[in-house]
Amino acid sequence: MTAASRDAASSDAAGGDLAPGPALRDVERRWPVSGRPRRAKGAFVVLRTDRVRMPDGDVARRDVVEHPGAVAVVALDATGQVLLIRQYRHPVGHLLWEIPAGLRDVPGEPSRGTGERELREETGYAARTWHVLTDCYTSPGISTERVTVFLARDLAEVPGPDRGPPLRHEEAYLRRAWVPLDQAVARVAEPGLRQVLKSFRKQHAPQKARHVG
């Protein structure tokens, strides 16, 4: 393959010439995979290894974690406090302060429905107003995980019997805390808050929240 044809192939695979400034956008595209992937199934994810054919004809092995996706919720009360939870995360060996979150592991459940369920079960609160803050892939180099982050306002406590089944495993040991939003944002620059750091940087980036009815 000549240099010119490689350039043409690369441009076509990338979706054409790059558009300047605000016109930049992601393009859905699947490069061909050679043979059958190797798979290993876990409790809720699948690990596969694909042999991906590049535009220039080369083939490279790429590991992919097939993930069901997740939601996360920034719950703010009328006084400007954000609701955080502390949860044990075994893969990293830490008790992490986070915003409430959970897997999209109920078939057919819309993302807002998952957010409502996780907020209710993990914190005992419900929200009347919902906005989408961001919708992103967390680690697109290796995982299909897509996370929708909501802003939830107009909160009210849910009576115990209506919160759902009793919490189990790590969730049975959750700690909850209301923290002034400004204080939580200020803390992200300090050591010791690894997960809240990621969440609040996303939420305070300049963007327009999208209302979810």
Active centre residues (catalytic): 171
User: What are the residue ranges of helices labelled H in the chain?
Assistant: 3-13, 111-123, 181-187, 194-203
Q: How far apart, in whole angstroms, are the C-alpha atoms of residue 128 and residue 213?
A: 10
Tokens matching residue 100: 């409430």
Q: How far apart, in whole angstroms, are the C-alpha atoms of residue 96 and residue 115?
A: 19
Q: How far apart, in whole angstroms, are the C-alpha atoms of residue 154 and residue 167?
A: 24
CA-based max dimension of the chain: 69
Sorted by sequence, the CB contacts under 8 Å of residue 169 that are 6+ apart come out as none
